[in-house]
Amino acid sequence: MPTSDRLEARFSYEGLDRIIHERARLSVLTSLVSHPRGLAFPDLKRLCGLTDGNLSRHLAVLQEADLVSLEKGYDQNRPQTLCRLTPSGRTRFLDYLGVLEQVVRDAAQAAGRPQSAAGRSPSTEDRPAGHDRSGLAEPV
């Protein structure tokens, strides 16, 4: 792409993935990236504030895109679905987060906010309780 076209489309953010960008799916992926061993369906449902049907539908979309895997099994003779990020899903999600970080930096700069404030890591006082340095929820 010629330099003039890149400058003209500077804020197009090609890396924003529509599959990931939907609010509920973003919640699911954020929950799963902070729980590398996976989450049982009820725990994921609780963390994301979704209904059974809504979570099932979003997981189906994410599974079809090879972002998550679902393992059906039993826990104490009760059916259980374990949800995990796939290796490629983790990579795609982290790449997506990099694009979101660029969006935030660009927006802060365009709004006249100093770079040091936009690019700094949140201090402990700035972070909500239960979040680690990466800004992700700590594993349960």
Q: What is the pLDDT of residue 4?
A: 53
Q: What is the pLDDT of residue 22?
A: 94
The full length of the chain comes to: 140
Q: What is the pLDDT of residue 137?
A: 46
Q: What is the pLDDT of residue 117?
A: 46
Q: Are 24 and 50 in contact (CB under 8 A)?
A: yes
Residues with Cβ within 8 Å of residue 67, at least 6 apart in sequence: 19, 20, 29, 85, 86, 88, 89, 92, 93
Say how far apart CA 27 and CA 50 lie, in whole Å: 10
Within the chain, which residues score under 50 in pLDDT? 117-118, 121-140
Q: Are 28 and 85 in contact (CB under 8 A)?
A: no
